[in-house]
Amino acid sequence: MLNVGDHPPPSSFAALVFGFGGDVQTKTTVMHGRLRLARKSDDHGHSGQEFPGFDARFFEAYSIKDPQSLMMNTARAFENLGRAASEWLGPRERGETSDDLFAGPIGDFIKTMSALTEYWMSDQKRMLEAQTLLLSTYFEIWTRSIQQAGGADKNSAAAEMAENRDRRFADEDWYRNPFFSFLRQVYQATASWAERLVTEADGLDEITKYKARFYVRQFTAALSPSNFAVTNPEVYRATVESHGMNLVTGMRMLTEDVMAGGGHLRLRQTDATQFSVGNNLAITPGKVIARNALCEIIQYAPSTETVFKRPLVIVPPWINKFYILDLTPDKSFIKWCVDQGHTVFVISWVNPDRDHAAKDWEAYIREGIDFALDTAEKATGEKQVNAIGYCVGGTLLSAALAWHAQKKDTRIASATLLTAQVDFAEAGELKVFVDEEQLALIEAQMKASGYLAASQMAAAFNLLRSSELIWPYVVNNYLKGKEPMPFDLLYWNSDSTRVAAANHAYYLRNCYLDNALSAGQMKLGGSAIDLRDITIPVYNLATREDHIAPARSVYRGNALFGGPVEFVLSGSGHIAGVVNPPNRTKYRYWSGGAAAETLNDWLKDASETAGSWWPHWQAWVDAQEQERVPARNPGSGTLSPLEDAPGTYVLARA
């Protein structure tokens, strides 16, 4: 038997890793290769303080009780990891996939970070000050950790935990255990210091600075101690408790996800077995009443005896599937519109392949929006509609409206834009991926395949919120070995689509790279279009926490239209701020602000309302036209239904 001394120094590794302030006096012993905890009392039977910062209650969860089983399962986990590596390498060796498209972002990352490093290293005084700041912060953290290991300042950990808003560090051992607390504080200090390096790099141009800020956040998010088995207390405990079976299961799931992605990681974010499009998602009754090579047009069955005279035509984004607006019945914007008395038509875009490579922006207007307008007129006999465009669908709708104005086409009487940008000067972090060099690489890859792969598009969007959409699932799936919970929104998010080459190249160049639409330089039908020619009423919705179409960017678009604009700002983000049914009484929205130069100035005069923006929009539509007619059933016009909603195109998996 080996007895640990009665009074080890407070900075000992054991005290640092397992020490907690507490009243229980303990002694650690090692017998037969296993750790045992023993209580020590004084002559009067009272517990003394042998290890001031050590509490035995928290030790057992971290002690390895069956090293042989753990070693065997660790070997099995590495075996599964090897299979995942083989699944990743195989398609590349066979020429079935490559990482050429990622060469642009990787090269841009190296170039950007090199510029940042050069700025700081070019001045020795500046570099020394930065290093001194970081090292002094580390010293302060070390001092606090030693004090915590010695049992001092017990309340500070509880206070820190109460103030925490970072989900990665929700577990109490990030604060109570001096070892994990030390890791957390060092990480947070380093991440904050790295962001300061960018913020205070006054010698960098704004574009390089913007990119550096994005890349630093990605880098620090990846290096969080919560992402590694031995530095995450939850994963560490799970590994000890299951003798490593969590890692065996996790590496098996990793292999399956690489196989599902054809050599790329298709990160599972939800239990996909719980959802099926047409069965428990996208189930609002309706019919596909028209179809061409680019889209299907769905008309939904009425639920009211009378309906608005003008039909409602919805243009969803083609970079995702339309049923984000028709999830479950209680979340469906489409069903809600039907219940308000709208005759709803929706474009369901095809999931493009090589055959659609030449379908460009103009084709998506002619064969998408114009095809939907023709279909609505044939189905209802009406010459005018109200139109909604969501995300890039709203950008396309805006371009179509400007083009229609040139041609005196008045079929769209009012337009609603949902988180749609028409001015891309402040288009958010997606601009990081778009410069001349990276765009040339994307175009070359798309020319070879005919499209941008769904996995590549999904990866770009996930990176924008990697701390929410990537790393939590890496930890949960591959380190904890747990299946993610079923969540309809994340199922939709994983149901990605490919993007036609010509269309995507046109969009990136004319919007993100050149901002041609806002400047009146985008060309359609051989001539430039101007958003100021759009004089119909526009309802322009932004969401406050949008990372794809930032609210300030959407707001800039107000000034570009030639007619009246009703701007509304919703709470939450790009999806939840839009898909926000009134019966959930979530979030809030702002409206009625006076026209101002900036969004912040507009907010000073805006009215805040609790709940969903949907009723506010309905009141705005009511004000445009209130005439009602008998309800129209799909197929009651000149078009015969082809099949039930949600149709065929939406079922194609990428």
Which residues does the annotation mark as catalytic? 391
Q: Which residue has the tokens 């599902």?
A: 260
For helices 103-121 and 124-149, the axis angle rounded to 10 degrees is 100
Instruction: Specify the 3-state DSSP secondary structure of 48.
Output: coil
The amino acid at 320: N
The DSSP bridge partners found for residue 568 are: 541, 591
**How many C-beta neighbours within 10 Å does residue 350 have?**
24
Q: Is the peptide bond before 646 cis (omega within 30 degrees of 0)?
A: yes
The two tokens of residue 479 are 């380190």
462 SS3 class: helix
Residues 478, 250: contact at Cβ < 8 Å?
A: yes
286 and 298 in contact (C-beta within 8 Å)?
Answer: yes
Token pair of 588 as six digits: 């809030």
Nearest to 599 by CA among 559, 628, 638, 626: 559
Residue whose tokens read 């130069």: 597
Alpha-carbon span 375 to 371, nearest angstrom = 6
- For the beta carbon of residue 450, count every other beta carbon within 10 angstroms: 18
Q: Which residues contact 600 (CB under 8 A, 6 or more apart)?
A: none
The helix (H) or strand (E) run that includes residue 400 is: helix 392-406
Measured CA to CA, the distance from residue 126 to residue 135 in angstroms comes to 14
**Residue 414: strand pairing partners:** 386
Closest CA to 203 of 119, 266, 306: 119
How is residue 650 annotated by DSSP? Answer: G
CA distance 428 to 552: 9
Q: Closest by alpha carbon to 379, among 631, 626, 624?
A: 631
Contact residues for 561 (Cβ-Cβ < 8 A; gap 6+): 531, 532, 534, 538
Helix (H) or strand (E) holding 630: strand 628-630
d(CA 282, CA 80): 37
Cα 248 → chain centroid: 28
Task: Please name which of 264, 251, 269, 247 lies closest in space to residue 87, comparing C-alpha atoms.
Answer: 264
